[in-house]
């Protein structure tokens, strides 16, 4: 009790800074409008009178991961209402693509009064948390309301595990509230157990991101985009780049152009508020750059194609020969991004040295020789050139990735089967 009181006081002191970052206006960032009140528990009642399954996906990455799970759940139980909460407006933008399959509300801030207001308005029958978004007061109030809580697609890196261990008394507040923790890997389960979660609550289901269902439409869109970009020229993508990585990627592309003057870089910044700045950076550095949203024709002289849209990553990757995954050359703060998306499309992957968020997956891809680890930005161009100069190697890796991916699915089915007793 005392620990929760201290935590709540600290949260109250920090909340103005957290809220400023959440509400700060940025280019290409959707606005909350009058819905900001939902963060404080002023939650509009749901249209359905039946108690919903509540799925929380904090932001863009978790929302994208949740979408196939939501679709599978609705397929099994079409009549079951689903409520999805996000904390960010960019996450809400992704969830909005599901249309009337779900209802969306913003997640209340982790104050007991806000969570109580939300629960009173929404009356969920179960809570599914995507990945590891754990808040003490939220979990406590949901648990007190006798609502089962499962963490789905749970992952816990060694770094996060050590950080939680530093505040073990706080983490201990989570444990009684959790009914199931469905982990991506055995290592994730071992780390949760190390922090005190009992084996009975832990299950290894694999990553639901393995269950990426790439529709034929998306594949066709990728092929059509490749035709637009140039079928016979080398095309590589730098996906989900962070501030500081763009310069490194552009320098690598400059070196690639020395050997392949017709090469094209598809550059996709991680955060939409950076689209304009990255476009200006490309122009400032002298690259002939076309923005996807400008609908300007891509010509042989185009050197950089800026992917400044949301939700089209699979289409963009599908139009390329090789993918560098961002967040891996930005120091150790990020830990890399989802290498499974290019893998699902059969596109060979290059990552920087910081990939701890997807360590086991990267190691599996290394085992089948379908990912290259680039130790520094100075060597990135070398890795790109090795990939695009060997068409036969690209074809071999493409086939190996398709086979590997086909053998690593069913995480959604496993997850739904385990929690079905609570549905």
From first CA to last CA, the distance across the chain in angstroms is: 30
392 found inside a domain: yes
Count of residues making up the chain: 423
Q: Are residue 297 and residue 183 in the same domain, yes or no?
A: no
CB of 290 closer than 8 Å to CB of 304: yes
**Coil, strand or helix at 290:** strand
State percent of the chain over pLDDT 70. Answer: 98
- Looking at the predicted structure, is the pLDDT value of residue 281 above 70? yes
From residue 361, give the alpha-carbon distance in Å to each of 61, 321, 374. 17, 21, 16
For residue 56, the model assigns a pLDDT of 96
Predicted TM-score of the model (pTM):
0.65
Tokens 């002191």, residue located: 13
Average of per-residue pLDDT across 265-275: 96
Options 38, 62, 131, 141, the catalytic residue: 62
Q: Give CA–CA dist 126/33, Å, rounded.
A: 28
1 found inside a domain: no
9 found inside a domain: no
- Looking at the predicted structure, is the pLDDT value of residue 421 above 70? no
Task: Kindly write down the DSSP assignment for every residue of 67-88, as one continuous string.
Answer: HHHHHHHHHH-TTS-EEEEESS
Q: Are residue 195 and residue 251 in the same domain, yes or no?
A: no
Q: Is residue 297 among the annotated active site residues?
A: no
For residue 423, the model assigns a pLDDT of 53
Helix axes 158-166, 186-194, angle to 10 degrees: 10
Helix axes 245-259, 380-388, angle to 10 degrees: 50
Q: Are residue 195 and residue 223 in the same domain, yes or no?
A: no
Q: Are residue 332 and residue 255 in the same domain, yes or no?
A: yes
Average of per-residue pLDDT across 46-63: 91
8 found inside a domain: no
Nearest CA to 98 out of 143, 55, 145 is that of 55
Q: Are residue 131 and residue 88 in the same domain, yes or no?
A: yes
From residue 123, give the alpha-carbon distance in Å to each of 43, 84, 364. 11, 13, 42
Q: Are residue 233 and residue 373 in the same domain, yes or no?
A: yes
Q: Give CA–CA dist 161/182, Å, rounded.
A: 16
Q: Give CA–CA dist 186/245, Å, rounded.
A: 32
Q: Are residue 229 and residue 304 in the same domain, yes or no?
A: yes
Q: Are residue 180 and residue 33 in the same domain, yes or no?
A: yes
pLDDT per position as a tens digit, 213-227 = 788 999 999 999 999
173 found inside a domain: yes
- Neighbour count for residue 404 (Cβ, 10 Å): 17
Q: Are residue 220 and residue 249 in the same domain, yes or no?
A: yes
Provide the domain count of the chain.
Answer: 2
Q: Are residue 259 and residue 196 in the same domain, yes or no?
A: no
- Looking at the predicted structure, is the pLDDT value of residue 422 above 60? no
Nearest CA to 106 out of 38, 57, 152, 60 is that of 38
Q: Are residue 73 and residue 104 in the same domain, yes or no?
A: yes
Q: Give CA–CA dist 408/402, Å, rounded.
A: 10
> What CATH number is attached to the domain comprising 99?
3.40.50.11720
Q: Are residue 115 and residue 260 in the same domain, yes or no?
A: no
Domain of 69 in residue numbering reads as 21-206+410-422
3 found inside a domain: no
């Amino acid at each position: 009790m005392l620990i929760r009181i201290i935590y709540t006081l600290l949260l109250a002191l920090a909340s103005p800074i957290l809220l400023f970052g959440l509400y700060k206006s940025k280019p290409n960032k959707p606005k909350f409008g009058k819905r900001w009140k939902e963060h404080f528990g002023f939650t509009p009642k749901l249209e359905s009178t039946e108690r919903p399954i509540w799925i929380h996906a904090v932001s863009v990455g978790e929302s994208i991961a949740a979408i196939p799970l939501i679709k599978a759940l609705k397929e099994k139980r079409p009549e079951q209402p689903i409520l999805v909460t996000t904390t960010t407006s960019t996450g809400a933008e992704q969830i909005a693509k599901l249309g009337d399959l779900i209802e969306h509300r913003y997640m209340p801030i982790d104050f007991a009064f806000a969570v109580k207001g939300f629960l009173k308005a929404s009356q969920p029958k179960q809570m599914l948390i995507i990945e590891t978004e754990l808040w003490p007061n939220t979990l406590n109030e949901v648990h007190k309301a006798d609502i089962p809580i499962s963490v789905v697609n749970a992952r816990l890196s060694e770094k996060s595990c050590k950080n939680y261990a530093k505040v073990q008394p706080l983490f201990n507040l989570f444990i009684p509230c959790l009914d199931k923790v469905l982990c991506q890997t055995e290592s994730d389960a071992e780390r949760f157990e190390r922090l005190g979660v009992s084996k009975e609550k832990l299950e290894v289901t694999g990553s639901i991101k393995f269950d990426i269902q790439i529709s034929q439409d998306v594949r066709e869109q990728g092929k059509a985009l490749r035709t637009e970009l140039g079928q016979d020229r080398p095309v590589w993508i730098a996906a989900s780049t962070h501030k500081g990585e763009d310069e490194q990627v552009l320098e690598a592309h400059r070196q690639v152009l020395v050997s392949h003057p017709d090469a094209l870089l598809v550059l996709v910044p991680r955060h939409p508020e950076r689209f304009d700045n990255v476009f200006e950076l490309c122009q400032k550095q002298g690259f002939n750059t076309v923005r996807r949203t400008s609908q300007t024709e891509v010509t042989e002289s185009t050197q950089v194609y800026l992917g400044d849209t949301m939700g089209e990553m699979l289409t963009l990757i599908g139009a390329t020969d090789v993918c560098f995954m961002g967040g891996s050359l930005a120091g150790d703060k990020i830990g890399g991004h989802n290498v499974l998306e290019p893998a699902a499309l059969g596109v060979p992957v290059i990552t920087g040295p910081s990939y701890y968020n997807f360590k086991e997956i990267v190691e599996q891809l290394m085992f089948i020789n379908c990912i290259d680890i680039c130790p520094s930005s100075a060597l990135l161009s070398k890795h790109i050139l090795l990939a695009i100069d060997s068409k036969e190697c690209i074809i071999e890796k493409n086939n190996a990735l398709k086979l590997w991916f086909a053998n690593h699915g069913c995480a959604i089915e496993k997850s739904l089967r385990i929690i079905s007793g609570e549905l």
